Each structure stands twice: as C-alpha cells, then as structure tokens.
Structure 1
C-alpha cells in the first residue's frame, strides 16, 4: 500500500547541505498498522511528510495505493491536479491538532469537504457521521477551546477521514497526550484500521505506542531504516535491536553471570502459557536463575522475553537448550563460561 524506494531528502541552508533521509526503503502492507520509531532527528517526520508529498524528496520514489506520487507534477506548495487527487486518498493526523479556533468541531471536520466543493447539506451529513465514528457526536457545536487534548485529537482524526482515505498518516499524534488518553486514541486508530480497512503509518518515539497498536515496525537512525519487520518476526530474532527496546531486560553483563550460561528466551502465542522453566528444572534437575523478564500482549497474543542463567558451560547445557527449542521457543546464548569459569 505504501512503498518508498531509495528515498532521500537533502536540505540546503546557507550553502550547507543536511541529509534528513538517506536512501530509505519502506514497505507498508495494505490493512496493517506500521510504526516508525526513532529518537528526535532520526528523520521520521521528514519521511512521513515525503510520503504525502508535503515535502518533495530529493531522490527516490514514493508509491501509495499503486500511484507513484513522485512522478506526479507539482510541489508541496503548488500541487498539480493529479497530485491533489492522490493526496485526498491520504489522511494526515498531526501532533498539535491544527484545529481552527474560530470554527466549531463540526465546522473543523467539514473544512476539507468544503475545499473539495461538496454542498453544505452533504458536508454536514458526512461530518456528523465522522463525529459519531470517533465518539464526539455530542461535541459538534463546541469550539476547540472547550475540548480536552484527547478530544481535539479525535476531531483531527475525524477531519483526516473526511475524504474517505485508504491511508492514514499519524505524525506523533499521541506525544502531547497523557498515558490514559494516549491509550484511548490508539484504541480508536486500531478500531478504524479494522472497521474501515485503513492502512495506518504512524511516527512515534514511544515504544509503548508500537507495542500497543502496531503490526509491523521500523527503527530509524540518522536518516536510515536500520531494522524493520513484523513484530512477530522481530521478536523471534535474537539480534533484533527493536525487540530488545520493546522488551528491555537490562544489559547482559553484570554480577552473577560469570559461572554459568546465560540464555535469552523469546516466547509467544501458545508457548507463552507453558511452564517451560519449571519443566526444564524438573526434567534435568538443574537450578535456573531468572535474571529478567518482560511479558506483553501484542495484537491479542501474549509475547515476551526472558533472560535465565543455567549452571555450567554451553557444552554442559546443549541438551537443556535443545529441549527449550523443541518447545517452540527462540533461544539465544548471551554469555557462557569456559571450563575455567571465565566468560567466553
């Protein structure tokens, strides 16, 4: 549904060039919620603004719903007819709501419909439907100053849906909200994704947002995507930086690690409900030290990671490790002692 290939964006100021995007390849499948996460300055917001051509890339291509937007004439400020038409199929939700204070809630939602030339009765009918959809039907005559932050963002979402888009872009839409309101807005985005078949691309610096609502994710750093994939695949990859960020267990070094073999175990789905640690201890009569664990529910499935320490070297634990893998668990050896007791 959304594909970028070799996407680059270079800004020039006072003769100095700054690369915000450096050859970004991104693929968002139809109907999924895809999160792009990274620290400030990683290039996330530039990426999403290039996707809807609010920023024209310096090089590379952007394709949305089968239309290569970078091949259409126009710029961020003077879009051609074809580019304007393509943009109508892309909704955008902003961090700071961008509501007009002089307009009521309903009038704010009607604004994009007014721009397209829809008649007044049809605009009112459509806006009422959208406000009902986002749970604000009773606020139609209120002004933005009378709303909470979460309610303002719901108005922003309703406005973004006015053109019946197939794609919804969210640029840090929850970063200005408190945790409870953030959960409410994320639940709304997931509901819209499921009920309307919307493809959602969201930009965030919060790992909790990715855990709460995303099917897939990408990690950005210095204008590049350094890792991407479905959350299920990422969690099953022992070297995944994103998985470690989603389920932090602390550094693998530290006291108590020098006289045994430390494993990181990833579990999800049916295996998450199995008492595999106690079964392992009973079956092989070994003492197991649990060093850390994190368990979350993602997409209705329980997933998590655990770090444990087994006595002895890796060679001593080949059979117990094999047993864990037979249970459908992802097992990675973090550190192991030599026969002398030193770490490998």
Structure 2
C-alpha cells in the first residue's frame, strides 16, 4: 500500500546540508498497522511528511495505493490538482491536534469536506457519522477549548477520516497524552484499522505503542532504517535490536566463568515451565537476571536473561535443550561468537558435556 524507494531528503541552510533521510526503503502492506520508531532526530517526522509529500523528497519515489506521488508532484512548490486529488486518499493525524479554536467540533471535522466542495447537508451528515465513530457524537457543538487532550485527538482522527482515506498517517499522535488516554487512542486506531480496512502508518518514540497495536515495525537511526519486519518475526530473531528495545532485560555481563543467555519465548512456549525443567534435567543452578513479558498481537511474548554456571563450552547442551523447546536463544556475553570464530565457523563441541541427572527423591517430591 505504501512504498518508498531510496528516499532522500536534504535540507540546505546557509551553505550547509543536513541529510534528514538517507536512502529509505519502506514497504507497508495493505491493511496493516506499521510503526516507525526511533529517537528524536532520527528522521521519522520527515519520513511521514514525505509520504504525503507535505515535504518534497530530494530524490527517490513514494508510491501510495499504486500511485507514484513523486511523479504527480511536478517541479513547483504548490501541489497540483493531481497531487491534491491523490492526497484525499491519505488522512493525517498530528501530534498537537491542529484544531481551529474558533470552530465547533463538527465544523472542524467538516473543514476538509468544505475544501473538497461537498454540500452543506452532506458535510453535516458525514461529520456527525464520523464523530459517532470516534465516540464524540455528543460533542458536536462544543469548541476545542472545552475538550480534553484525548477528545481533541479524537476530533483530529475524525477530521482525518473525512475524505474516506485508504491510508491513515499518525505523527506522534499520542506523545502529548497521558498513559490511559494513550491506550484509548491506540485502541481506537486499531478498531478503525479493522472496521474500515485502513492501512495505518504511525511514527513514535514509544516502544509501548509498537507493542500495543503494530503488526510490523521499523527502527530508524540517523535518517536510515536499520531494521524492519513483522513484529512477531523480529521478536523471534536472535540479535534483533528492536526485540531488545521492545523487551529490555537487565543484568550485568559476567566474566568468562559464567554464561549469560537471552531467551525469547512466545506462543505455547510462554506458558511452559522451561527454565525449571532445565534446572531439574541438568541439575544446575540458574540465576534469572531480568525478565519482561507482555501481549503482542494477542499473543503472550517475553524475554528473559538467565545466567548459567561455567563458561559457554560447558553449557552447549543446556542451551541446545532450550532451543529444542522452540525458544530463541542469544548468548549475551558474546562467548559463542568468539568460540565459533576460533573454531573456523565449525559447530562447537563441549569439552565436558553435561549429562541429565536422575531425579532425586527431593526433586520427585518437588514435582509432586
């Protein structure tokens, strides 16, 4: 639904050049909620404003719903009729609402329809339908100053839907809201995505937003996308930076006499007592250094950092046991990579394999 190819944006000021976007390739599928996350200055806002050509890219292409918007832009600074028509299929929700204080809630929602030349009665009926959709049917005659922050953002969302868009862009739409209101707005966006078949592209610096509603996500840094993909797949990818950001786990890395392992589990594995099984099976003491768990896309997902006694070569078999349970495993101390490099990339064989122990009377009693 949304594709950018080698997208570049360079700002020039007083003889200096600042590269805000540096060859960004993005692909958002129809009907999904796609989050772009990154710190301030990463290029997120510039990217989303280039998608609807509020900012003209320096180079590269932007395609939305099969239309190459960059080809419609022309060379002038003003948008031509073809680009304006294409933009009616793209709604935009802003961080600071951008409502007109002198107009009522309904009049604010009607504004895009006025610009499109829709008649008065049709505008009023459409605006009232949209306000009902976002839960503000009783606020039609109120003014923005009489609304809470969450209500103002709902008006902004209703206004963005006035042109029956296929794509909804959200520019930090929840960053000015308190946590409870943020959750309600995110749920509204997800409901609209499902009810109307909207494709939603949102930018945020909050990882909780990605966990709450995003099907796919991209991590931006210094004007580039450094990682992207379906959230569920990223969580299952060892070494994923986004996975570490979404589910941070603490714990200091030890010396060579201990092995620290990051374990990612989801689906059925999230409900199994795998760590206790590991401890009983191999009769080893396991320290849990940190853990995080949440629900992503309706599935329970979590990460855990555990510490095993002994260096990596003594823990190959227990680590293999975890992998056999369907868990994603990453050796956080980096010992595995070092050993593989020293072994010319060949599989590592443990010097002293740890064998499963027979259950003792104590462990039998514990199992009962």
Partner SS state of residue 103, structure 1: coil
Q: Distance in 1 between matches of 2:152 and 2:168?
A: 17
Name the count of aligned residue pairs. 338
* 2:53 counterpart residue number: 53
* 1:41 counterpart residue number: 41
Matches within 5 A, 1:233-252: 233-250=233-250, 252=252
Measured after TM superposition, the shift of residue 33 of structure 1 is 0.7
Measured after TM superposition, the shift of residue 90 of structure 1 is 0.2
Q: Distance in 2 between matches of 1:86 and 1:327?
A: 50
Measured after TM superposition, the shift of residue 314 of structure 1 is 2.2
Measured after TM superposition, the shift of residue 249 of structure 1 is 1.0
Paired residues of 1:53 and 1:76 also in contact (CA < 8 A): no
* 2:144 counterpart residue number: 144
* 1:283 counterpart residue number: 281
Measured after TM superposition, the shift of residue 312 of structure 1 is 2.1
Q: Normalising by structure 2, what TM-score?
A: 0.89
Query: Residues 62 and 294 of structure 1: is their aligned pair in 2 closer, same or farther, counting only changes over 3 Å?
Result: same
Measured after TM superposition, the shift of residue 55 of structure 1 is 0.7
Q: Distance in 1 between matches of 2:193 and 2:252?
A: 38
Paired residues of 2:170 and 2:203 also in contact (CA < 8 A): yes
* 1:199 counterpart residue number: 199
Q: Distance in 1 between matches of 2:45 and 2:250?
A: 29
1:183-224 deviations in whole A, cap 9, x for unaligned? 110010011111111111001111111111111111111111
* 1:109 counterpart residue number: 109
Matches within 5 A, 1:179-194: 179-194=179-194
Partner SS state of residue 315, structure 2: helix
* 2:2 counterpart residue number: 2
Q: Normalising by structure 1, what TM-score?
A: 0.95
Measured after TM superposition, the shift of residue 258 of structure 1 is 4.7
Paired residues of 2:253 and 2:260 also in contact (CA < 8 A): no
* 1:154 counterpart residue number: 154
Measured after TM superposition, the shift of residue 76 of structure 1 is 8.4
Partner SS state of residue 73, structure 2: coil
Q: Which runs of 4+ in 1 moved over 3 A?
A: 73-77, 336-339
Measured after TM superposition, the shift of residue 324 of structure 1 is 1.0
Measured after TM superposition, the shift of residue 27 of structure 1 is 0.6
Partner SS state of residue 72, structure 1: helix
Q: Distance in 2 between matches of 1:292 and 1:191?
A: 34
* 1:295 counterpart residue number: 293
Measured after TM superposition, the shift of residue 248 of structure 1 is 0.9
Q: Distance in 2 between matches of 1:75 and 1:32?
A: 32
Matches within 5 A, 1:1-344: 1-74=1-74, 78-250=78-250, 252-253=252-253, 258-335=256-333, 336=335
Paired residues of 2:167 and 2:198 also in contact (CA < 8 A): yes
Partner SS state of residue 279, structure 1: helix
Q: Distance in 1 between matches of 2:56 and 2:267?
A: 42
Partner SS state of residue 249, structure 1: coil
Measured after TM superposition, the shift of residue 43 of structure 1 is 0.7
- Comparing 164-173 and 204-213, the one that deviates more: 204-213
Q: Which runs of 5+ in 2 are unaligned?
A: 340-349, 351-368
Measured after TM superposition, the shift of residue 313 of structure 1 is 2.6
Measured after TM superposition, the shift of residue 317 of structure 1 is 1.9
1:281-329 deviations in whole A, cap 9, x for unaligned? 1122211111111101011101111111112232222222111111110
Alpha-carbon RMSD? 1.8
1:45-77 deviations in whole A, cap 9, x for unaligned? 000000000011000000001101001134785
